[in-house]
Structure 1
Amino acid sequence: METYETNQKLQVRHHNAITNARHELSAVQLDIYFMMLSRLRPGDSKETRYSISVKEIEELTGRQWNYKQLREATAGLIGKVFEIEEEDGLLQVALMSSAKYLNGQGRIQLSIADELKPYLIDLKSNFTSFQLYCVLSMTSKYAKWMYVQFARWKDIGHLSYEVEQLRTRLNLKDPTGKNPEQYKQWGQFKDNVLEPAIKQINTSTDLRISYTVEKKGKAIHKLNFVIKSVAQFQTVIPFETAHETAEDSRLRERLRDIGILDTKLVRKVLDSTELRRKANKCLHDISLRRNKIDNPGGYFRTTLGI
């Protein structure tokens, strides 16, 4: 079973239905999911739609997803149901309620069931230092899922899983027994899943993971992971910047929408009253002339002279 040290302050990490759910998502689904998660804001209404740029995903991940792959991915996300135990009963809710592909814009407009938003926002708030770039830069779907687990407990420094529990969480073992098991033998699981995932986490993120094993008889029964944080060494795109105002967040979001991903450039705009004024005027012009501007990001840079 998953274990961690008990601490009253750390018990705010509830709502584990999302992070502890069985991992049944593909790499492209996880990329879309994390991009969507980064867009969430407290106070979002039922009508809020979350716009995801395909170009932005590709620039962040270094991978290209074709239209067919994206359609299959969002269809699967709409069909993915979480079960969450609430005080008055069991809630069954889809991870995503709709996806709309906007013609000629290279964007996907996503909506989330209103009942699920509090859980996702709570999850997001647990990752004030969660690095979106780290998750998106990894290619292994197992590494992506495991990084989230380790990031949640990095201040504790360790996390343990029974091997069979971890295999179930990674969707390698069907608890109902209907689907065949994958990488059933310890050597197969270690060589094809565990070691490659840890290698990607250690080389691509702000965490360093090591582990020891416990045996029950001759079989490997339990994995004890040690989690260490290292200094940030690469450009990251955080969910939000500390002390950033709602106005700052909205402007940052609008800049993302036109393809301005350079964090230093965005910070330069946010920190300058004059550049902020020019940026808002330019963004307004772009919104009015969207169909006539082929490269909004380039137009923005040229207009502001940066």
Structure 2
Amino acid sequence: MPRHPLRRPAARRATAPPRVLPTTWLPDLTTARFAYTGLQLDLLFYLLSILEEATAARSVELWLSGFSAAAGKKHNYSYVAAAAAELVAQPLTIRGKQDQYQPLRLFDRIRSVPGQGLLQIKLVRTGIPYLLELRGLIPATSLRAFLQLPSKHTKRIYALCCRYKAKGRTPTFTVTDFKQMLGLIDEQGHEKQQGFTSFRKHVLEAAIEQINATTDLRIACQMEKHGRTVFYLTFMIKPQALPVLLPIAGTDA
């Protein structure tokens, strides 16, 4: 009777080992899932610096001159206004009870006044508490450093580390959760940064280098493997003196 050729067993897909992640992963905007551009993140965090609790429910005025001065960079108004307008419909989900994510709207409408270099921003009432909470995470002295970080992923990681600076470390995230948080995996499960090696080099290592060189934090990423696969990430955080930053030449145009 002929013998069947030997077949290699199908490779098993690596699965994360059983583990209960810390409950200190708080439901706030630093761990929300969204994919803002770098400019949109800058607008969001500059908005926080001018946001007042007493007037947050009314229209907030964001002047291009103040935004450009804070960033140390001359911004093009049309480019900024277009990026701001997209924030109204930009999807954002935040972690709720039992680890379920729920949609959250921050911006109700944004009106541009071109002749004055002004944006009039109306916030959604249910989003205001999250914005006010986030406002206290990044001190005003660090805003310039945040605005000059070159990568949108670096900005997100810096904000996260500011959130947990007092603890000296962030919560532990699975790699998948962390990629979803940064918008690198969309709602359909499509991954934008294929392979962990590329993710580590172009996102994690780049962010660590940029944050350590230009901000008030010194961070490192602790990775935990199961076999050969990295499943968990934790950022270790230490304060450092804020470097002297020089203005950035050029505009958005």
Q: Tell me which interval the TM-score lies in, with the shorter structure as reference length.
A: 0.7 to 0.9
Question: 2: CA distance between counterparts of 1:126 and 1:209?
Answer: 16
Counterpart of 2:165?
Answer: 154
SS of aligned partner of 1:210? strand
Report the Cα offset of residue 127 of structure 1.
4.3
Question: 2: CA distance between counterparts of 1:140 and 1:205?
Answer: 14
1:59-208 mapped onto 2 (5 Å cutoff): 59-83=69-93, 85=96, 92-127=103-138, 131-159=142-170, 160-177=172-189, 180-208=190-218
Counterpart of 1:30?
Answer: 41
CA contact (8 A) 1:172 1:183 kept: yes
1:211-290 mapped onto 2 (5 Å cutoff): 211-234=221-244
Report the Cα offset of residue 146 of structure 1.
0.6
Pairs aligned (count): 223
Structure 2 unaligned spans of 5+? 1-18, 246-253
Are 1:21 and 2:32 matched, yes or no?
A: yes
Q: Which amino acid counterpart does residue 182 of structure 2 have in structure 1?
A: L
Q: Which amino acid counterpart does residue 173 of structure 2 have in structure 1?
A: Y
Question: 2: CA distance between counterparts of 1:210 and 1:197?
Answer: 10
Report the Cα offset of residue 142 of structure 1.
0.5
Question: 2: CA distance between counterparts of 1:95 and 1:117?
Answer: 7
Counterpart of 1:279?
Answer: none
Question: 2: CA distance between counterparts of 1:191 and 1:122?
Answer: 31
When the two chains are superposed, the root-mean-square deviation of aligned CA atoms in Å is 2.9
**Structure 1 residues 217 and 79 mapped into 2: Cα distance closer, same or farther (>3 Å)?**
same
CA contact (8 A) 1:4 1:156 kept: no
Report the Cα offset of residue 150 of structure 1.
0.3
Report the Cα offset of residue 50 of structure 1.
1.7
Q: Structure 2-normalised TM-score?
A: 0.76
State the identity as a percent. 29
Question: 1: CA distance between counterparts of 2:28 and 2:237?
Answer: 22
Q: Which amino acid counterpart does residue 40 of structure 1 have in structure 2?
A: L
Q: Structure 1-normalised TM-score?
A: 0.64
Q: Which amino acid counterpart does residue 61 of structure 1 have in structure 2?
A: A
- CA offset digits 1:43-74 (Å, max 9, x no partner): 2263x222222233233334444344323311
Question: 2: CA distance between counterparts of 1:73 and 1:164?
Answer: 28
Question: 1: CA distance between counterparts of 2:197 and 2:80?
Answer: 34
SS of aligned partner of 2:115? coil
Q: Which amino acid counterpart does residue 77 of structure 1 have in structure 2?
A: L
Question: 1: CA distance between counterparts of 2:39 and 2:30?
Answer: 17
Question: 2: CA distance between counterparts of 1:23 and 1:146?
Answer: 13
- CA offset digits 1:125-156 (Å, max 9, x no partner): 34457721121111110111110100111111
Q: Which amino acid counterpart does residue 158 of structure 2 have in structure 1?
A: Y
**Structure 1 residues 164 and 141 mapped into 2: Cα distance closer, same or farther (>3 Å)?**
same
Counterpart of 1:240?
Answer: none
Larger RCO (CA under 8 A, 6+ residues apart): 2
Q: Which amino acid counterpart does residue 179 of structure 2 have in structure 1?
A: R
CA contact (8 A) 1:2 1:162 kept: no
Structure with greater helix percent: 1
SS of aligned partner of 2:178? helix
**Structure 1 residues 5 and 205 mapped into 2: Cα distance closer, same or farther (>3 Å)?**
farther
Counterpart of 2:12?
Answer: none
